[in-house]
Amino acid sequence: MPISYGFTPKVIPESEFRRIDYDVMALAFAIHNDRGRLWNEKIYQNELAERCRKAGFRKVVTEVPITVAYQDFQKTYKVDLMLDDAMIYEIKAVRALAGEHQQQALHYLFLLGLHHGKLINMRPPSVEHYFVSTRLTPEKRFAFTVDDKQWKELDEDSVWLKQSMINFLKEWGAFLDTSLFYEAIYHFRGGEEQVVKTFEADRLGAQKVRLINSNTLFDISSMTKDENYYERHLYRFLSHTPFKATQWINFNHDRIVFKTILR
């Protein structure tokens, strides 16, 4: 299976999530009051799970695996805490929640086909928490369109890159974190060390880049605003390198753009 998790996720309405979450957050605040703010994430995760069990939740599971696969590539994610196959919680112990944490939670919701989750950060003086929600269904994630009007098949590697990305999208759907697609490309190209290379940038220092071959860079992004602005910076970057082109794939919601940038 392209995406597997060994159970059947239960989609619940936002009103039910918020009603139950009120009790879960009361437990999180109680843990913060009891233990303080200096423990690691795993301890907070296990403590919250134990208190949820004592509070009467039917099914409480930590480190819930979600496996994404294509041919012999496999990537397993682990959701910190899941309640009754319906509610996911990501527990953090960081200075402050950031966009990357929200993206991680959304990534898990998309893979599971769920709509609501919660980020909890135990490090600040008071518990920081953020409700993460999406209306996106699995059906809509697979209803993407491809815009390749400005893509050039420069060589066999470019043909492979485009076809591979389309194959991944057909198996996994759109809207997912770009790091998954990078990891899959690394795998099929012989490992990260075969793709990520370093060159000297105008004698100013070393710069890492991702190469599909010795002449061509590639970039995968998820720009939903200012696409043209990002493209200009890709061109500026390319113009100060010894490479000839950048093959750019951008996830703009359900529109997947394939574009070739030439020097």
pLDDT along the chain (263 residues), means of 10: 95 98 98 98 98 97 98 98 98 97 98 98 98 97 98 98 98 98 98 97 92 98 95 97 97 98 96
C-alpha–C-alpha distance, residues 28 and 52, integer Å: 10
With beta carbons less than 8 A apart as the criterion, state whether 12 and 87 touch: yes
C-alpha–C-alpha distance, residues 71 and 245, integer Å: 29
For residue 228, give the H/E element and its range.
helix 227-239
Give all strands of the β-sheet with 60-70 in edge-to-edge order: 3-4, 60-70, 73-83, 87-92, 116-121, 128-133
Question: What pLDDT shows up at residue 56?
Answer: 96
C-alpha–C-alpha distance, residues 10 and 54, integer Å: 22
- Which pair of tokens denotes residue 184? 């899959």
Q: How far apart are the first and last CA of the chain?
A: 41
Question: What pLDDT shows up at residue 181?
Answer: 98
Which residue, 230, 237, 183, is CA-closest to 208? 237
Q: pTM above 0.85? A: yes
